[in-house]
Structure 1
């Protein structure tokens, strides 16, 4: 570009100092001058284009650097996210493996417990059936007159034989009278037929205080009456004493209000409670399910 400007300047000086030139020379000089101007314009345009390209190149170069830096940053973030995801996956796999083990163990325990519960249910059903048979046999063996003073019930798998006190004892006494012998003999026979059952004899009174000198209160009276029945069953009818328990409830287990003679009469009773031996159930309960023992 500088060279073209210099040539143009020299051409202008020559024209000025040459003075008169021929028309042909003047036309030629004008042509050269126009040509030089065109070249000069082209050079300027080329120079400007070059500057624009340089600026764009610098801008593009900076943009590429920024993009590269951003790409590197994104790459690091992706690496970090991948690492975290891999760690989470490994942890999940480990927990899932442990969870499968725990679930398998739980299923085994549930199955063992179900077998154990089934065994208990079968045992209880068997006991309930035997109690019903016992109750039926006892009821059939009693006469109509005896059934008026003896109440036989099966409640929750337990046989309750409730005897009125006027059938068993004299008023205010704990000695068993002769009239009760026949009824107790029938009860004893049924009890002896079911050797796997325990027998609880329980005395109950009304709220009227006892006035006998050798009996302190209704606790003593109820306990003595229960003890008398137990001893009759043992001594007169051969019931194993190891199967029997004597207990007194005094006036604290009423089945009717103690405000009328009829209510008090109902509360003055002796109950013979026949149940499956508790040790049979305790043995079952003590037996943990097999899978639980192994684990």
Structure 2
């Protein structure tokens, strides 16, 4: 039984040894580019969140400005009504005083003209405020609609990622308690698989049970073509002591991530452009390296699923 396991490992090692330096460098270059793209997506996600908060702040300010303008309009309307009532009283007085002396009539006429001028000015100011109020209301409604649309898209993305997380959890339920976890945070889905499920010590050849887990994960990913998939390899901080093709923990973590990508690429429903393999070595631990249990948790593969943000970016550009 041992000989049957050793022969495939030796054969795989001989095949990987035949990879030319040029191909390996090309893969490394592609990895760096994809890593930068992943960082860009993460930065864009932070920028989108900040933009949403700024838009909500602007919306509150606009609402306050709208309320102040409405109060000003109401005050002008009350002033207008008071002036009109005063004008009506003076008109009545004018009619009564029409029979009096021409001097008294002249004074009343002058006062009446002044009040009419004030009334006209108030009417013009009220019309201007009504126009400004209508414009502010229109802008407020447009901003509110864009914010609502942005919130709807973000909510749909979160709901889609939650459904994806639930689908992955259901697909990988057979591996619960075997070093596999699935969680959703910051708008992404994280699948963590400890190396005990996937690899033998110092090896990047995926075992039978680990392959089955990756294939079941691939079946779910093939039904979600708009998801970016980052596969990260991680090790503990114990220096690699083997010999041969590996130069250290970073090299080992990269080869393990690439091995997972190779299995996922066997599923033709997954777009290879959505796949990124990255080696993190021992530089992103999730537990202490001072205990065997902590080191076991740090030796892992993390699959990070990120939704595409094109629609949200377009909404922000429209705003």
Cα distance, 1:177 vs. partner?
2.2
Could you say what the CA RMSD is over the residues aligned between the two structures, in angstroms? 2.9
Contact 1:165–1:268 under 8 Å retained in 2: yes
**SS of corresponding position for 2:281:** coil
Cα distance, 1:280 vs. partner?
3.5
Q: Of 266, 284, 291, which residue of structure 1 is paired with 2:297?
A: 266
**SS of corresponding position for 1:138:** helix
Provide closer, same or farther for how the CA distance between residues 96 and 184 of structure 1 changes in structure 2, counting only shifts above 3 A.
Answer: same
Q: Of 276, 279, 282, which residue of structure 1 is paired with 2:307?
A: 276
Q: What does residue 129 of structure 1 align with?
A: 159
Alignment of 1:83-232 (within 5 A): 108-213=138-243, 214-232=245-263
Question: Gaps spanning 5+ residues in structure 2: where?
Answer: 1-120
Aligned pair count?
199
| More displaced stretch, 218-227 vs 159-168 | 218-227
Provide closer, same or farther for how the CA distance between residues 238 and 111 of structure 1 changes in structure 2, counting only shifts above 3 A.
Answer: same
Provide closer, same or farther for how the CA distance between residues 281 and 216 of structure 1 changes in structure 2, counting only shifts above 3 A.
Answer: farther
Alignment of 1:73-92 (within 5 A): none
**SS of corresponding position for 1:252:** coil
Contact 1:201–1:270 under 8 Å retained in 2: yes
Q: What does residue 278 of structure 2 align with?
A: 247
Cα distance, 1:179 vs. partner?
2.2
Contact 1:138–1:187 under 8 Å retained in 2: yes
Contact 2:229–2:303 under 8 Å retained in 1: yes
Write out per-residue CA displacement over residues 244-278 of structure 1, whole angstroms, 9 at most, x where no aligned residue: 11122222211111110100111111111112113
Write out per-residue CA displacement over residues 96-123 of structure 1, whole angstroms, 9 at most, x where no aligned residue: 9999888776655544333222222111
**SS of corresponding position for 2:305:** strand
Contact 1:146–1:183 under 8 Å retained in 2: no
Provide closer, same or farther for how the CA distance between residues 260 and 97 of structure 1 changes in structure 2, counting only shifts above 3 A.
Answer: farther
The TM-score with structure 2 as length reference comes to 0.54
Give the Cα–Cα distance (whole angstroms) in 2 for the partners of residues 110 and 253 of structure 1.
46
Provide closer, same or farther for how the CA distance between residues 174 and 110 of structure 1 changes in structure 2, counting only shifts above 3 A.
Answer: farther
- Which is higher, the Rg of structure 1 or of structure 2? 1
Provide closer, same or farther for how the CA distance between residues 236 and 129 of structure 1 changes in structure 2, counting only shifts above 3 A.
Answer: closer
The TM-score with structure 1 as length reference comes to 0.58
**SS of corresponding position for 1:264:** helix
Give the Cα–Cα distance (whole angstroms) in 2 for the partners of residues 215 and 100 of structure 1.
76
Write out per-residue CA displacement over residues 29-55 of structure 1, whole angstroms, 9 at most, x where no aligned residue: xxxxxxxxxxxxxxxxxxxxxxxxxxx
Q: What does residue 233 of structure 1 align with?
A: 264
